[in-house]
């Protein structure tokens, strides 16, 4: 596999994730689609670090930061989902007009 194949793969993953974000109605499903997009971005980082070896170690470090930030994001988002569920028993984004709990 060459670099352009990996770029095409990450583009496809980004498209799949965007499609999921547009079609899902459940909040958890939207979080899942965001994970797919971040996965594609990480593959892109790793492929450039492997093939364009100007500074490969930095390219290997950036996905670790992405993973840490996405862990933070998922923790906060799931806490919000939990408290939202406790208040109104549904996670349908089309029925969440106001966010003041």
Partner 1 sequence: MSDIFIYMLVATLVMLSCFAVGLPNILHSALALIGSFMITAALYISLQIELLALAQIMVYIGGIVVFMLLIILLTTGLGVDDKRRKISFGKWMSSGFIIGLFLTSLLYFFSENDTGLADIITPKALPITIDQIGIRLLSTENGFIVPFEVISLLLLAALVGAVVLARKDVHIKKEES
Could you list the residues that contact partner 1 (CB under 8 A)? 1-5, 7, 9, 11-13, 15-20, 22-26, 28-29, 31-33, 35-36, 39, 42-43, 46-47, 49-53, 56-58, 60-61, 63-65, 67-76, 78-83, 85-86, 90-92
Orientation of helix 3-23 relative to helix 27-51, angle to 10° = 170
Smallest distance, partner 1 to C-beta of residue 62, A:
9
Give the nearer residue to partner 1 in terms of CB position, either 72 or 98: 72
Smallest distance, partner 1 to C-beta of residue 96, A:
14
* Helices vs strands, H then E, count in the chain: 3, 0
Give the nearer residue to partner 1 in terms of CB position, either 75 or 96: 75
Give the nearer residue to partner 1 in terms of CB position, either 22 or 97: 22
DSSP code string of 55-89: SHHHHHHHHHHHHHHHHHHHHHHHHHHHHHHHHHS
Classified as helix, coil or strand, 93 is: helix
d(CA 47, CA 11): 13
Smallest distance, partner 1 to C-beta of residue 100, A:
13
């Amino acid at each position: 596999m060459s670099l352009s194949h990996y770029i095409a793969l990450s583009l496809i993953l980004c498209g799949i994730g965007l499609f999921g974000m547009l079609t899902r109605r459940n909040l958890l499903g939207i979080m899942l689609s965001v994970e797919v997009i971040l996965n594609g971005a990480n593959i892109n980082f790793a492929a450039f670090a492997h093939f364009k070896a100007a500074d490969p170690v930095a390219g290997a470090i950036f996905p670790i930061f992405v993973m840490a930030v996405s862990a933070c994001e998922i923790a906060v988002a799931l806490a919000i989902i939990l408290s939202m569920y406790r208040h109104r028993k549904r996670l349908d984004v089309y029925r969440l007009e106001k966010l003041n709990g």
